[in-house]
Structure 1
Amino acid sequence: MSNTNTPPGHRKRDTSQITGHEVLAGVVQVRQGSLKALLWQRARPPHPNRWALPGGRLGPDETVESSIRRQLAEKVDVRELTHVEQLAVFSSPGRVPDKRIVVTAFLGLIPCDTDPELPDDTAWHPVEALPETAFDHEEILLAGRERLRSKLSYTNIGFALAPPKFTVSELRDLYSAALGYRVSATNLQRVLSRRGALETTGETVAAGPSGGRPPALFRFTSRDLQITDRFAVLRPPG
């Protein structure tokens, strides 16, 4: 006969609750000069009317990445992701009321020249001024923002926020919005060019009404994620 007694000082393990596995994505884009996140508004409990990250249950025949790409395409009509990466696993036992749900979270980036058509219950919200969110979704989203900010320092991940061609001023505005502070266009061009991440297209845009030298167009040398400087750190001025 097996011994079912619980050893002193130990809690008996509850095996009655099955652990579920979800995938969620913090999808961000620079829109109207600020970094914004894609959220949908819940209609049913728990947390009705709160805003949530897109995602859902992991299918039995899916990898976590194929699952999040499918769900973003099906649920919020987002197919134009230029970069997706696994962020972290969030497994706090109480993160979802009355259920045991482990989530694999992703960071997804959309270039600024893309405007996906969204369902009525889905909208873009400034990351700096989020509405009331469900569960631990704000924590997940802010972790994604910090991952993005970190990688802007030592990789070419800016390609995932930018259109195929851009002026240095336009790229400066994208970096400033993502980092949360003003970036020097001259320094940004110098650093990215020195690292081999940026090149001129040989084209210019039309000069403005005040005349002057037409701004040159640039592009990233690669639209795949690459480490360009392992020891670089971008910091706010001052």
Structure 2
Amino acid sequence: MAETTVRVEVLTAVFQVRETDVDVPALHVLLHRCEQAGWALPGGPIVERETLGAAALRWLGARAGLTRVAHLEQLSVFSDPDRVPEQRTVASTFLALVPSDIPAETVADAAWFAVDELPELAYDHRDVIDLARHRLAGKLSYTNIAFALAPSQFPMSELSEIYGAALGYPVDSTNLLRVLSRRGVVVATGTVGRTGRTGGRPPALYEFADARIRVTDEFAALRPPM
């Protein structure tokens, strides 16, 4: 059997919860414009003596101008022989998260897209995004991974919107506070935020107890209604 030259690349699905034109936060993914195949996830080939994680971060900067993420983890390997027609290419994929209060600016050929309103994507990149979104939703159930999507301090109403955007369904802030407080995920700061547009009492502010991912309830599941 003839040997095949295999190209190894990294691809990263970077998520951030961002405001939309109708002021409803939504989960967005970062894409860059690829001359050969339209919109694509940031990524490219690894170089000699470079780890996969280092390559993922390098390509985020090169393709999209993104130099800061709060969380990065390996997702899966995509190795279908025909996934890239031009050359046999194996992709090691990653999930990355950016907090909502970080101004994630991009270069000219990159843009953020709502995950429910994606343009035509290169190759199997939509499958990578779907898998990353599923991974994120799962980990929101049993870890504190939302720390990587939330600002440093927040009212529970804002955190519930972040959870809702990532999970794809509304999340009740009172129930969310009860669950996350019982698990020791969020703690009160003792301060209050600004009063909302409708007036009322200033909301209490909270923060995550940890800035690194940890399992909070191994068998937990967040399901509607929350």
- Does the pair score TM above 0.5? yes
Aligned residue in 1 for 2:12: 25
Shift of 1:71: 1.5
TM-score by length of 2: 0.94
Identity %: 47
**Equivalent of 1:78 in 42, 66, 74:** 66
* Cross-structure match for 2:22: none
Cα deviation 1:213-238 (Å, max 9, x = unaligned): 22000000001000000001111229
Query: Within 5 Å, which residues of 2 pair with 1:1-238?
Result: 13-15=1-3, 17-32=4-19, 33-43=25-35, 45=36, 47=37, 50-208=38-196, 211-237=199-225
The structural deviation recorded for 1:14 is 3.1
Q: Which has the larger radius of gyration?
A: 1
> 1:152-189 deviations in whole A, cap 9, x for unaligned?
00000000000100000000000000000000100000
User: Which has the larger displacement, 108-117 or 156-165?
Assistant: 108-117
Deviates more, 1:210-219 or 1:222-231: 210-219
The 2-side partners of 1:209 and 1:63 are apart by: 48
The answer as to whether partners of 2:10 and 2:45 remain within 8 angstroms in 1 is yes
Give the distance between the partners of 1:123 and 1:211, measured in 2 at CA: 35
Q: What runs of 5+ residues in structure 2 fail to find an aligned partner?
A: 20-24
Mapped to 2, the partners of 1:28 and 1:211 lie a distance apart of: 32
Q: Matched residue of 1:236: which SS?
A: coil
1:110-141 per-residue CA deviation (whole Å, 9 max, x = no partner) reads 00011222111111111112111001000001
Q: Which residue is 1:4 aligned to? A: none
- Give the counterpart letter for 1:19 in structure 2: V
Q: TM-score, normalised by structure 1?
A: 0.90
What letter is aligned with 1:22? E
Equivalent pairs counted in the alignment come to: 221
Counterpart CA distance in 1 for 2:127 and 2:75 is: 12
